[in-house]
Structure 1
Amino acid sequence: MSQKSRMLAGKLYLPFDSELASDNKKARELTRQFNTTEDKGGEFRKSILKELFKKTGNNLYIEPPFRTDYGCHTSIGENFYANYDCIIIDVCPVNIGNNVFFGPRVCIYTATHPIDATVRNSLIEYGKPVTIGNDVWIGGNTVVNPGVTIGSNVVIGSGSVVVKSIPDNVIAAGNPAKVIREISDSDKVYWEEMAQNYREEQEP
């Protein structure tokens, strides 16, 4: 079993491997290109992201700068937006659904290390996948830790540290992040009224 196969399976692995080094080098080159593009290079930026990631929707936008270890282990759905300074450490698969928005400095970490210092100092490491559902908004300066699943229709408050999985249809926040309340039909009614008022105010 190759080191890359072990890594993606969540097994202990050594990162000093020619295949992993090649994948990492490609990611570094692509993110360097991406981060140095001018604002007018929207389609060029998108083409870089499509080459970088395993899978994307047609509509995605990431504000530079952006960092990732591999990129090729990350799958992203339609209508994705990430604000400045997003980091995705994808030593294990990262799966992001449709209509997901990241505030600035959102970090997705799949990499982790043994608790025992002797084993850790041997530089053996491992990872756990991260999954984010559809219709999710993650506030700025949030960290999503290895092994976490965030459900669909979820809002994560800014500055949160998500260490355990979050169910569908809730608002969660804090360090560690905890469910604050469910998202209800009253939220939908309120925000639909606010959106309708906005549309009416825009009419000539």
Structure 2
Amino acid sequence: MAMSENKARSLRGELYYAFTPELLNQRRRCSQAVARYNNSGEISRRKRVELWRDIVDDKTPLPPLAATEEEDEELFAEDAWVEPPVHIDYGTNVELGDNVFVNFNCTIIDTCRVTIGARTLFAPNVSLYSGTHPLDPEVRNGTKGPELGGEIHIEEDCWLGGNVTVLPGVRIGAGVVDVPPYTVVAGNPARKLRDVPRSTNAEKTSGAQAALERDRAAAEK
């Protein structure tokens, strides 16, 4: 099935509408897969990998079952290890490298692509937010307004401590952390950097509203 223009805009980090039937269904699919993962209890490594692949919609076949449980676990030694519970929006925009460890209570808002490089380690309560909202409240408009985002890329061999939050558009790697976009206040104590924009009419000028209308028209044909 062809990707809608609205969905393509979301992946590019442009204004798009999140509460369309298409995207609601995609989040519902992921929510159900995440629930199975989080509620799976004590299961084999094979089953854990299988349930994770359901979340990220990875269709790669599992290797044939080995002769013993220990040998079978070894088949998945390089697969990412994600401790439940985990919280994810779509799953299909998440990519984990080999030998990644994600501790419990990780949140990934994968509006845009989120990649985690090989051998990277997450402590508990790490949050990756690739989605955000317009600063102009007249554009934001609750669930009826458009949203946007920015890709998050965490490179190889990183270690994120407990309660770290990564914002849209950030790349972490080689000792460098980008300054996150959409910053209005910062510091401790917080200080004002700039005013919130008003009356930008971005939902129209960006083309997001027109894209949604074209998608709806195409669906009615």
Are 1:123 and 2:140 an aligned pair?
Answer: no
d(CA) in 2 for partners of 1:124 and 1:108? 20
Identical columns (%): 35
Aligned equivalent of 2:112 = 92
| TM-fit CA distance, 1:123 | 2.1
d(CA) in 2 for partners of 1:35 and 1:54? 16
Structure number with larger C-alpha Rg: 2
| TM-fit CA distance, 1:54 | 5.8
Kept in 1, the 8 Å contact 2:171–2:178? The answer is no
CA RMSD of aligned residues (A): 2.4
d(CA) in 1 for partners of 2:112 and 2:34? 19
Scaled by the length of structure 2, the TM-score of the pair is 0.67
| Structural mapping, 1:155-174, within 5 Å | 164=179
| TM-fit CA distance, 1:108 | 0.3
Q: Secondary structure at the match of 1:95?
A: strand
Aligned equivalent of 1:102 = 122
User: Which of 151, 155, 165 is matched with 1:133 structurally?
Assistant: 155
Scaled by the length of structure 1, the TM-score of the pair is 0.72
Change (3 A) 1:53 1:137: same
d(CA) in 2 for partners of 1:54 and 1:11? 24
| TM-fit CA distance, 1:163 | 6.7
Aligned equivalent of 2:211 = none
Kept in 2, the 8 Å contact 1:54–1:73? The answer is no
Aligned equivalent of 1:171 = none
Aligned equivalent of 1:7 = 10
Are 1:68 and 2:88 an aligned pair?
Answer: yes
- One-letter amino acid of the counterpart of residue 172, structure 2: I
Aligned equivalent of 2:204 = none
Greater Cα offset, 78-87 or 117-126: 117-126
Q: RCO greater where, 1 or 2, for CA within 8 Å and sep 6 or more?
A: 2
Task: Structure 1 unaligned segments of length 5 or more: list them.
Answer: 156-161, 166-174, 177-204
Q: Secondary structure at the match of 2:115?
A: strand
Q: Which structure is higher in strand share?
A: 1
How many residue pairs get aligned? The number is 161
d(CA) in 2 for partners of 1:75 and 1:93? 8
- One-letter amino acid of the counterpart of residue 151, structure 1: G
| TM-fit CA distance, 1:50 | 1.6
Q: Secondary structure at the match of 2:128?
A: strand
d(CA) in 1 for partners of 2:107 and 2:115? 14
d(CA) in 1 for partners of 2:48 and 2:168? 28
Task: Structure 2 unaligned segments of length 5 or more: list them.
Answer: 61-75, 181-186, 189-221
